[in-house]
Structure formats: structure tokens, C-alpha cells
Structure 1
Amino acid sequence: MWEERARLSSIKDSIALVNALNRVGILYQVKNVDSVFYYGLKAKALAHHMHYFKGETDADNVIAIALANRGLTREALNLFSSALTGYERMADTANVVQMLMNMAITYSQIADTVKSRTYFHQAMAMGSHLQQDSIMSLLYVDYCTCTPSLSADSINYYLDKSQAIARRHKTEWIPIMIMQMQANVMISEGKKEALPLLKESLDKCRRQNNELLEMNGLSGIGSYYDPSNPDSALKYHYEAYNLARKTGYDNMMVPGAQAILAAAKRTGNAANISRAHEQLENALTKENDNLKNFIGDYVKYNNIEGTNKLLTISNRNKESKIWLLIGLCSICALLAIFTYRQYRVSNRLNKKITEQNNYLQTTLTALEQSQEDNTRIMKIVAHDLRNPVGAMTSIASMMLEEGKQSPDNQMMLDLIKTSGERSMEMVDSLLMMHSRSEELKKEKADIYDMLRYCVDLLQFKAENKKQHIHLGVAHITLSINREKIWRVMSNLITNAIKFSPDGADIFVHLEEKSHEVVITVKDNGIGIPDNMQDNIFQMFTTSRRKGTAGEHSFGLGLAISKQIVEAHKGRIWYESQPGNGTTFFVALPTT
């Protein structure tokens, strides 16, 4: 101890100095509590200044030992707990075991046996994994000392384990302590074998120059003589007391003086009793002076701890502000970089957009030219169709006017004439398709009559494929362009016939709703494939297929139908499943 303390002034390295201060504080724990507290405070202040975490944790343990010895149990346990957390953070298992043991001893001092045993068992469980398990020897001894409820067999079991570890690590003072503990048990049992065991331990500790165990041995012999030989007991208690005073073991002075007074009273000698009172008074006076010094140091410690906490909070606030500023600066820098990159990207995009606009303008011009060419060609073709269709219609009209036809021929000529007239109207519509939209001329029309006529006209096509058209329509009058809506329905029914197999049924229904009338044309044909469903209403669509009997499609019918329906403020749509038929819906407003 003295060598360690003398070496402190020569240590230049700050970390080494903190470690040395903590070691000296630990060495003083059985000799002088005030010195323990003093060295612990010095080590903690220096370690805190250096931000040396292990040194500060070790210092918390040293200070907690001093507080526990002074009876400040709650404060001691708080510091032990803080040190325990620190050692767990550093994965220092040996010191974790030490903290658990210190907490167990502290709880035993306030007679909390449940928590004391709990922490002892935790320490034993943790220590079982240690490779360097020398601390376990002391742990087993302390467990026996602090747990009076242990049976004799249990005590012997743990002391044997302690002794085996001590021998393995060549720790010579542990076996002496165990001998003294065993002797104390014998004294409590009234066994005379305690005296030779104590004297043997006394010889060994004197050879090892172990003053603490020598005092314990002298006190043990005094306790052995207490009941039967008070004079001998007084002699050994005095020897222990004088050794404590000579070697500076202030912690042992008051217990030693109390043992002397008890032995003196048993002698019945007034001089002995008076002298013992004087010894106890001196010891208590010195202890009181030490306690005053400790209280002063403890007040300073509390002030320093409070200041350190405030400084820590202040530093954390400053660090938070610094990190906040760094974060804001980083965000600003990132925003600046992002803005610059966006600016460059925007410039590149603007150039690309300009190029694309130029390209699109060129393409649009080409498309407009192509559209004009298509329109011109379509007008030429449509115009050329007028002559043969007109001739066909005129011949049918002339033959009807002669009136010499059979009923069947007359019906066929009438259908040819009507179909020709509708075809002429379609040619006219094609000629006007890309011109300004014509004014839609509406009139009241019976939907049933229109659909009936349309079905009758197309019945011969259905019969060619052995199909049957079912008409389920009521007499409803709407304001429509009769010829154009007839064209829509004719186109939808024609498509149903074209894309349905032989012998299929086609259904034409009408449903009146609150604000509109919905006409449906449903077939059981081949349906519309998924890849064609998005563009079947486009003019000159590429989604064209041959019918089930090889009929051709031109890609105009549905596009014209959509234009006509939308001109009536209506809607046209469909539902289809490939292979399971298609249903077309035409919704026309009632107002």
C-alpha cells in the first residue's frame, strides 16, 4: 500500500495515474474509509477530465465502497449499479462479478437477505465462465460471511471450493481467512479445537506480515476466551486494538475498543473498565473527526457531481447544436448540389424537348400531309362508288315500278333498293368525314321499328350461316337521326353474324333506364383478343380479322359507329372474352 501511494508522484502518464489512484483507494478499503473516498474522488475527477471511461467506472466502484462503509447504502448501490453497467458495456466479466458481489455485500449490511443472495447467485453464475477465476475464491468466502442462514455443510462446501481456487492461484491469505472463519464457527459451537486453529492462523499471517488477518486472529482468540477467561480475552483484544492503532487501521479502532470494554466488564475490575471507557472514547472521538471530514468531502463530491451533470447536459446541448448546424449545412450543401444537378438536367431536358418538338412538328406536318392524301384518295374512291351503287339502286327502283314481280322478288328488290340507299348515305358520310361536322338532323323514331327493319334486312345473312337473331325490344320513341342509328345497329349486328359460328344465336335487347336507353347486341362468337381491344374503335384500325366464314373486314364500321353515337351524346362500349363471345352496348339519352 505504502509503495503504491509513494509511487503516485512519479507517474507521468495520465491514464496510468488514474489506474494507480484507483488501486490505492481499493487498498485503503479495510484501513481508512476517508482515504478510499479521497483517492476515488481524485481518480474520478482526472478520468472525467480525460474522458477515460474505464478509469471513471473504476472510480465509481471505489467511491461506492467508501459510501457503503459510511452507511450511505442507497448512494453506494446507485454507484455500484452505474459501475456494473459500465463494466457490462466494456464486456469486463471479472469486474461485473466484482460489482455483483459488492452489491450483495451492501444489501447484507442492511439485512436485505433476499437481494443479497440474489446478487451473490448472479455473481457465481457469471463467474463460472471466467478463465482467470481467482475472484471466485473471495466470492465464496464473502457469501459464507454474509449469509448466516447457511448450514454447516454448505459453509464447508463453499469454503472448500474457495480454498481449492486459492491454492491453484497461490493466494496465500485466503486459506488463513478460511481457517479463521472455521475457528469462529467452532467458537459458536463451543469447540476447543478453535484455539489451536486460531493460533496456527496467527503464526501464518505474522510470517506473511498480513496485519489485517493478524488483528482478526487476535480478536478471534479474545472471543474464544470471552466466556471463560475474561482476563485473557481482555489481553488479546488489547493486542488487536494496539495493532490497529499502530498500523493505521482506523476502521478497526471502534470495534476493537467495544470488544475491550465488553471484556473489561466481564473481569469486574473498575480500573480495567475505566481504561476501556477511555479507549472507546478516544476511538469514537477520532471516528467522529473522520466522519466530519468525510461529510465535508461528501458535500464537495455532491457539488462536483452536480456541476459535472450540469456541464454534461450543457456539453450535450452544445454538441446537439453543433450537430444540428452540421446537419443544416449538409442539407444546404446537398440542396445546392441537387439544385445544380437539376439545373443541368433541366438544360439537357430542355434541349431534348426542343429537339423532340422540332421532330414532332416535322412528324405532325408529315401526318397532316398524309391525312390530306388519305382524305383525297378516300373521296376519290367514295366518289367512284356512287356510280355503281346508284345504278344498282336505280335498276331496283325501275323494276319495282313495273309492278310485275312476284312477292319474293319484290321483297328482294325492295331490300336491294333500301340497302343501296343506305350505301349511298354511307358514301356521302365518308365524303364528309374529314370535312366540318354536319348538323345532326334528329326526328322522333320508334326504336322497335328501326331494329325490326334492321334485323329483317340482315336475316338473309344470318340464314346463310344457319344463325338466328332474337329481338327483344319494346316500342320506345327517341329523338335520333334514324338513318345514322340504323347504320350503327346494322354494323353491330353484321359484326355479330360475321364473327359467330354456324348455328349460333344472336340477341338484340333494349333496356330503358332513368336517363337513357341501352341497346345490346350479344353474340356467342370468337370474341375480341386482348391485343386488339384497345384500338377497335380507331379509323382504319389494324385490328381486323376475317369472319368465321372468311368474311372480310375493312376497319371502318366501329369507328363510324362511335362517331355517330357520340354525336347523339351517347356512349358505345363492349364486353368480351376471347372464345366466349362479345356484347356491344349503345346508350342513347332519352332527352
Structure 2
Amino acid sequence: MFKKLAVILLLFTQVVCAQKSAVQQLRRQLAKVQDSIVYTNVLNELSMKWHLINADSCFWYAVQARDVANRLNYRKGIADALNNLSIAYALKANIKQAIEYEGKALVYYRQMEDNSNICQVTMNMSVFHSLAGMNETGQQYLYQAMDLGKKLVYDSIYSLVLINYAIRFNDDSTKRDSVQWAIQKAKKIAGNYPGCSRDLYYIHAFEADNLFRKGERAKAVTWINSLATQAQKDGLIYVAIDILRHIENYYKQGYQLDVIPYKEKIYALGKIAGYTDLMLPQVISIYRYYTRVNNAAKMAEYGHELWTLTDRQEVMKDSRHVNYLDYFLKEQELNEWHLSNKIQTEKLARANTQRLARRKLIAFLFGLLMILGGFTFSRYRSYRYLQQQEELLANMNAAISDKNRQLQVQDDFKNKLISVVAHDFREPLQNIIKVSALFRNGDADPALRQKLIKDTESSSRKTLEIFDNILRWIKSQLSGFVYAPAPCNLKDMFSGVIAEIPEGLQVAGDQAMLQFVHRSLLQGAATLGRDVRVVAVQEADRVKVMVISSPTVLTTQQATNLFAYEDAVYSVQGEGEELAMRFIICKDFMDKMGGQIWANVTGEQLQLIYALPSFS
């Protein structure tokens, strides 16, 4: 249990070489601070420093910080205090309360989008859940922290996450390579940050483990002893305890040495720092050893310690103890409210005294202000009236200019539309003339006659389809058009097309409009590229559909203008104005349905994309 809790030490990115010296410096700073926000931050930093030296002091400063932060409604201070309280409760072996406070801190950090602290708290949640027996949940939190850590701009926190990963899986032989990778990566990152000296203690301890596995066991024990001694000198008592645990692990792996002195040293350090609630496994092991060797004095000493710790464990199980801190904080808040009320009462008394002396002056000034106010108000009304007239005139001119631009764009589009319609009429009419001539002469080849009839039917059907689509588009432009979205199943609409669409995925839209959009995008993808396929994905409350083809003949700039009124025809120049008109109508249909449509070129791949609200 104690080994897993080592991750608590990874909460903070700045560790000084001498903790007690840093605490003294912060105390001196606290006495000089005048700003309440800075005062709260110093209290939280003191709580953080103390958790490596004394758990009770860590708790006390966290409580003070939370009181001040609550009065100021300072969310960052509240979150940091909750974080420190979680550590204090974990050091007291109250994992249930630690999870509760860490969960509250995580909510605050997510609201502030503080990614660094989100990563740290998520990492702690993985440890607390594992200690509570929820190993699967703990592992999920750990992997979330790994994903968050590698995306941070300042990756010193990522070093802490990697160390935590190595601690979690150090004894798992199947993950030996990944643990070694994590240690080397953490060591490289820690080398870039002078404040990560504590990280290096853990990294060196892992390197000692590697020596042990290679057979250099005595050298590994010597190195661990040296690291623990130096950590204790630097005031990192918790780090020293955790490093000494490596020797106990060597003993469990078959190395013959007297491990009891190390366990006694761990317990002595834990007792000094107030970590006694975590020492129960150590005391049990030591007591059993002295029972076996029949050492009465040591049995009495550690028997008393064992009784004390187990009695405290029973108290910790009492539900009233779990809520003790909440009761304490509420009492503190009540006292603060009483004090605030007293101060406000005194201020009101002083204000009443001063009000009597100012009444005559106020009466004189009031008359003067009434005169000045009337004059100012009349001038202000005149000024506002002129300003409103100018704004109205400017808005009318701007509206007229906008309408002129819109009319010009629409006029250009209609001219192009008429040109396309005239062009599409030409082919079926020419085919009809050819068929008529063949029938009039009566001596044409039957196969040629059949081909002309088939071509005439195909071109006529295509022209009719274009007219239907244009008619629907024109109706959508009329003022009486009302859009009524309905569920549209994408997989059914793309039947017969190579498509990667989840079952049951639906969008809210107009069936006919969507059919036109789909046909146009498929035709465009086939015209401007090859190997057409369709991909649809759910994104939050909308669905994104991509029609992809490769390679493409378009440039990135041409793809950007593909659905614009002014530039669509230019973008597909050489591929036909009909396709440009189709894309412009697709853009209008998407606007009517509350969606977006655009095009991208990635490498040689063309992506025609639209997004509509999901129907759920």
C-alpha cells in the first residue's frame, strides 16, 4: 500500500534541495504578504512542502488556505487546497476521503482548463482508486494521465507520470521494456528541469533495481542506502522512506540480508513525519520477527505501537470521522461570517455619524446638481438624436451596399445557371433531331437507330433531373419555404457505394435535399479524382460525412473556393459548369438545413465534407 502511495509525491513540479529551509522562507514571506490571493497561494505552497516532512502540518495549512480561498471565491486557491487535503488524508490512510477531495479538485481544474493540474490530479486518482481496491479504474486514470502528460507544453509533469507508470508496473515482467523506456524518458525530461531533483531520486532507485537484476546486488543495496541518506538530508523524508522500500523488495526476491533494521528505520522516519497510519504493515512485520526470535523488549515496544495503530484504524472507519473536516470547515466559515457581520455593523455606525454632518452639504449640492443636470440632459438629448440619425443613415447605406452586392452575385449566378440550362437543352434536342431524320429517311441501321434513341432518353432524363433539382433549389429560395428536418439514415442513403458508416447513424435534414447533395458530391469526387469512398463519423452533437477520392486534379486553393458563389466555376474550370452549379446549390441546401459544407485537399486526396446536426 505504501509503495503505491509514492505517487502522491509526484504532485508538484518544483522541489527544493532542503525542504525545511524552503518552509522557513515561505513562512517569512507569509508574514509580509498583503494581497489575499498571494496569501492563499503561499499557504497552499506551505501545505505542499509540509507533506514531505509532516502530514499534520500539511493538513493544517491546507485548511487555512481553503478558508481564505472560499471567502475570496478564488477557484484556483480552492482547487489547490482540496488537492493538499487529499494528500493529507491519504497520508493518514483515509483513502475514501482522499478520493472525495481529489475528485472535487479535479472538477475545479477542469472548469479552469488547467491541463497541468488536470494531469497531476488524474494521476493521483489512479493511485487512490488502486489503493481502494478498484484496480481497473485506477489503471484507466493512469492511462488518461499518460495521454494528457505527453500533450503538455512544459513536459516536466510528463516526467512524473512516467515515473508513476514505472512504479505501477516495475514488478510486471511482461512490461519490462515499457518500464525501462518510461524511466529513460523521465530521466531525459528531468535533466531539462533543475527543479526535478526528487524525480532523479526515483530514477536512480530504478537504476539500482537494474543493477540488482544483473547480479550486482551488494552494489544495488549500497546505492539505495546512499540515495535514502541524501534524501533524508534534503528534507525529503517521504522519498527516503520509499527508496528504503527497495531493499525490502530485494529481500523478497531472495537476497539474504537482515531487512529488520531497514524496516525499523522506515517506521522511525514515518513516525517523525506523522505517517504512522501508513506504517501498519511495517509494524506487523517487525513484531512478528521479534516474536519469532523471542525478544521480549522489542515485542513489548512494537506490540504497543501495533495496538495504537489498529485502534486508530478503527476510528478511521467511523463515518463521523470521515465528515470531520467538513464540520470543521463549516464551523470556521460560520466564525468568519460572524466576524464579517461585526465589522459591517461597526462600519454602518460610523457611516450614520458621518451622514448627519454631511446632510447640509448634500442639500446644497443637490440643488446645484439639479440645475446642471437639467442643462446636461437637454444637451445630451440633442447629441443623442444627431448621433442616432447618423447611425441610421450609415446603417441604411451599408444595407443598400450589401443588397447591391448580393444582387450582383445572384445575378451572375442566374446568368451562369441559364447558360448551363441552355447547354443541357442542346444535347437532348440534337439527339431528337438525329432520331427524327433517321425515321424520316427510313433506311438507317437499326443498331445506330437504337443507340440514338437510348442516348436521347439518357440525355433527356439527365436534363429532367437537373430541372427538378433547380426547381427544388428555387423553391428553397422563396420566402414561403419552411424547412422541416426529419431523420435521415445515412447507411440507407449511400447503399451501393463503398461507405464506412456506423449502423443507425442518422442526421436531421431534408431527404430530397440530402439526396441531391450526395449525388452531387459523388459525381464531383468521381469527376475530380478516382477511387471514391464515403466515411461518416459522429462528433459530439453533429455528424460529419466525407466523400473522398484520390488522386485529385485540384489544388488546395481551388478546393477552398469550391462552394463559393464567385469562385466555384473557376475552381472546376475545365470540368464543366454543371458541376459548379451543383456545388453552389449544395451550399444553399446546407445553409437551409443548418449545416456546413467545405472541401480539403490533403496530399493527393480530395475530401468533400459536410456536417449536419445528429438526429437523436
TM-score norm. by structure 2 comes to 0.43
Who wins on radius of gyration, i.e. which is larger? 1
Relative contact order (alpha carbons < 8 A, sep ≥ 6): 1 or 2 greater? Answer: 2
TM-score norm. by structure 1 comes to 0.45
